[in-house]
Amino acid sequence: MNLQELIQLVNQSDIASIRNSIVEILRLVGDPHTSAKQLTELIERDPPLSGKILRRANSVFYGSTRKISEIRQAIVRVGFDVVKELTLSQKVCELFEYGTRRDGFSRMELWKNSVAVALCAKFIYRQEFGHKGEEAYAAGILHNIGIVVEDQFMHNQFLEVIDIKPMMKDNILNAESSVFGYNHAIIAGDLLENWNLPVDLVSAVRFHHAPFKADNEIGRIVQTLYMADYLCQGHGIGFCDTPYGNRLMFRRCLSHLDIKEKATDYIIQEVVAEIKKMENAGWFG
């Protein structure tokens, strides 16, 4: 199946039903003038999302015994920025709730990896560049969507990818290229471009395994996503599509971004701790 046919299939499927929500959420997340009222209205239009936000706000993860029942109260409890991230992540999470379980792969393990990479990219942006990192977080949340597309729309071939991955140096990119002729990063980039998402986000996702193929002016977000993915893969968080990574590429990104490797050691430990809290709170099934 060629990429154009694949994108058309996706846009005719259930995945397309959350497309508009994702686009609107990303618009609100990326707008510094977004108000609590706008975000509340968006969440309240989606009853399942409202329920998830309230459950998260009332979970032990946030350390409060006083139960709340209103979205506005949830925003106050966990913070505006966190609710924006939760809104995006919970909507995207719908894509990862079902699907294949085979030889160490499951969509929920893939989702855990997506969340970890999103957190890591955000932490790098905040600690190294002094920015909130909302777009980097969004890129991390969406960077595995191409694997979901493979599982859902080319299922039998995807099973073959999972089966031959160990024989391909445990690198899913090699297995995908062998079976499909392209890989999940290319699928995701083309899909998100078709959805008219921001260029920086699209490029970060498309080149998250090949950061120096992206244009120089958007190099920071692409290289940050690559580093976040490399660090999370190296620590075995969730399903790891390239667990051995490319250390030379990682060090090249560090050099280009002028980041000390010791700083990333601290950041990934922070990510590991956050993911552990999420696991204990039942975020991943």
- CB burial class (10 A; 0-12, 13-18, 19+) of residue 47? exposed
Cβ atoms of residues 37 and 258 within 8 Å: no
Residue type present at position 199: V
- Give, for 105, the enclosing helix (H) or strand (E): strand 105-106
List pLDDT tens digits, range 142-158: 999 999 999 999 999 99
Between 188 and 81, name the one with better pLDDT.
Answer: 188
> Which of 112, 60, 97, 136 minimizes the C-alpha distance to 272?
112
- The CA distance from 175 to 170, in Å, is 8
CA distances 170 to 20, 54, 104, 145, 153, Å, are 35, 39, 12, 20, 23
How would residue 275 be classed by pLDDT, with cut points 50, 70 and 90? Answer: very high
Within 10 angstroms of residue 169's Cβ, the number of other Cβ atoms is: 12
The pLDDT mean for the chain works out to 89
How many Å apart are CA 178 and CA 279, to the nearest integer? Answer: 35
Q: How much of the chain exceeds pLDDT 90, in percent?
A: 57
Distance, in Å, from the CA atom of 167 to the CA atom of 163, rounded to the nearest integer, reads: 8
> What's the pTM?
0.91
pLDDT (0 to 100) of residue 120: 98
For residue 91, pLDDT over 90 is answered with: no
Give the span between the Cα atoms of 123 and 102, in whole angstroms: 32
Given a contact cutoff of 8 angstroms between Cβ atoms, the answer to whether 105 and 239 are in contact is yes
pLDDT class of 3 with cuts at 50, 70, 90: very high
Alpha-carbon dihedral 232, 236, 237, 238, rounded to 10 degrees? 120
* Placement of tokens 């160990």 in the chain: 166
pLDDT in tens, 30-69: 777 888 788 888 888 888 778 877 887 787 666 666 788 8
Residue (of 126, 41, 125, 113) closest to 83 by Cα position: 41
The structure tokens listed for 126 are: 């905040």
Provide mean pLDDT across the span 152-165.
94
Q: Which of 98-107, 112-121, 133-142 has the lowest mean pLDDT?
A: 98-107
> pLDDT tens digit string along 62-80?
666 678 888 888 877 777 7
**Do 166 and 102 touch, CB atoms closer than 8 A?**
no
> What amino acid occupies position 26?
L
At residue 223, the pLDDT reads 97
State in Å, rounded, how far the first CA of the chain is from the last one.
33
* % residues pLDDT > 70 (the chain): 98
Q: What is the pLDDT of residue 238?
A: 94
The partner residues of 102 in beta bridges, in order of sequence, read 105
CA angle 67, 21, 189 (to 5 degrees): 125
Q: Which residue has the higher pLDDT, 31 or 130?
A: 130
